[in-house]
Structure 1
Amino acid sequence: MNAVSPINTPWLSQLSTSSKFLIAGPCSAETKTQVLDIAHQLKAMEVKVMRAGIWKPRTRPGNFEGVGAIGLDWLQQAKKETGLKTAIEVANKTHVELALKADIDIFWVGARSAVSPFIVQEIADALRGTNKIVFVKNPVNPDLALWIGAIERFKQANINYLGAIHRGFSSYEKSLYRNNPEWQVAIDLKAAIPSLPLLVDPSHIAGKRNLLFDITQTAMNLNYDGMMIETHPTPTKAWSDADQQITPKQLSSLLKQLKYRVTDKDEKNFQADLSYFRDKIDVLDQQIINSLGKRMKVAEEAGQLKGKNNVSVLQPERWKNVLNNLIKQGKAIDLSEEFVSKLVKAIHQESVTRQSQIIQSDETNSN
């Protein structure tokens, strides 16, 4: 996949808190008092950008969907009193027009909107010609091309101050997280567009406040440019997503604990040691690929046998036992159930596909 043209990033350092870009604030603007309260608390922490959900796309009807345009007035007053930059999610042309009138500084496109090129294009056209900062959250599904395509639409609309937000991906499978991180997708995005600022949204990945630090630290280890963390004066009383929000005091503690990594180091001893470990990893990776190639050859031979004997490709009990046994084996060597499950299922899917193709091909040739 070709990288899109470079994106301007000087604004990032200008709005950064400490060494990283930070957006903090409540999931939803609830009352004027709440918005002003959190704004002043964040200002005292030297936070420079405040978020607040005005329109909240919810999965099912009947849930709180935001206070609407009146919340823009509250953000205007918060900005006037504190000098904080303001950031909100927009999902259509009307949202953009109202937010521009309210002098909102930063816009982001949510995961549900990012899946639709039509919605993204409508928002990009509404922002065309402005100097606003725009972040694009990853689509709800792990589709890198869709994520890049959304970013490209804003670039083509002459929006120069662009960034991406990694908020994790929905899954029907049980997981530790509200939205699975799928870190590799974000890593691939950064590889495709190296100059693109990338933030982590640990609140939506975690869904639980006790996981926020570990997720944020992982992102810092991967050299993300910053974070968006939901912060509320009284999280347990929040009107939406109460379990994943933290207080300003908790945010301050989290930020102090974070360790920021350098991307490179010049010391000869460090580079030599790192090269040693990288070489070992490269050898092991090659062995894994070679083993997988051999495994698929065996799977193909098994597929030929199944075809000759008119036996179905999928053997449910056999598959169930294989998966459970490998998960147990993985746990014994400190591999998480989630990792082993994903890996084994991917291998199994490839085997099923190959066997199905072999059986189909043999039947076609015999006819």
Structure 2
Amino acid sequence: MNSNYFKYPHPFQLEAGDVLPEIELAYQTLGTMKPDGSNVTWICHAFTGSQDVADWWQGVVGQGKLFNTDNQFIICVNVLGSHYGSTGPLSVNPETQLPYYHDFPTITIRDIVNSFDLLREHLGISKIKTCVGGSLGGQQAVEWAISQPDLIENLILIATNAQHSPWGIAFNESQRMAIEVDPTWKESYATAGIEGMKAARATALISYRNYETYGITQARQDEPLGKSYRAVSYQRYQGEKLAQRFNAFSYYILSQVMDSQDVGRGRGGVQKALSRIKAKTLVMGIKSDALFPINEQEFLAKNIPGATFQTIDSLYGHDGFLIENSLITKAIRLWQKLTKLEINPMEEFFRNLENKTKDRLDLISN
């Protein structure tokens, strides 16, 4: 992928107390920023995503699409700790001249947002028209909207939360345990722990989808004894697929980053923190999401002033935020239209927006 790089050659203070001697962020931009900077769309990527947003979210980013590169300046940044060019466990520590590996410090969602802000200032961006993110990306977006209430005009949060749940933390710890039992994990080389990461990814996938998803996409087909079940081969395939593009060190670190999400930390609680948001906000939840259950998005919408809540009915559980491009596009476009007209969208109208209303939405959108 073609990326730009921003280097901050100064000590970067981390929330947990450690300091990175310097940081580098890999990022991509699409489209052209207007002279007044009024068309900036900042998209935050999820767990193992990258700055190549037109690849992993190609259904909504591109010419003529929801996030239209013809008239929007779109930016996506690879988060600290990740595998795609930003400072992370495989980066060389300038103080030791060796890769960090196990010595990479603990980072949090707030650290990631603080690094984004350094890049924002470097690019001369004083206002973000729209900030959007799903899952781990949504955690970044809501944190940024709280830490800088006057920066973001429109905020779109999909399948995310204000505080990561014990349920979600337990899933992540199970994945870390899978990595830790890999006998190579204690070693210091780029592919250490990779077999453990494959098992971790298979564990994670269960939380990204749900019972109904597997019942349809991996349905049993009268397989004879001795032949692998579809669900078995699918789990192994997903582990192998990730191992071809990611590393166990980044996977381990980013699972901890997700666990760190708590917008109320040091702010008098979650509700008080959310009340600071000034952006016009659309919160979207997926009915079948097992990892970020829909009650977490209902909580966001209830506590963010003036927020609109929207449900998506998807077979694909949490992964629906990456798959249901048509539903997401229609819902966001309708919300944008109504907020532009200064019409207060009725919560019940959005709550009941599902596949069965597609024809009705087409009429409204046109």
* Normalised TM-score (structure 1): 0.30
User: Which has a greater percent of strand?
Assistant: 2
Greater fraction of residues in helix: 1
TM-score (structure 2 length as normaliser): 0.30
Answer with 1 or 2: which has the greater Rg: 1
The structure, 1 or 2, with the larger RCO (C-alpha pairs under 8 Å, 6+ apart) is: 2
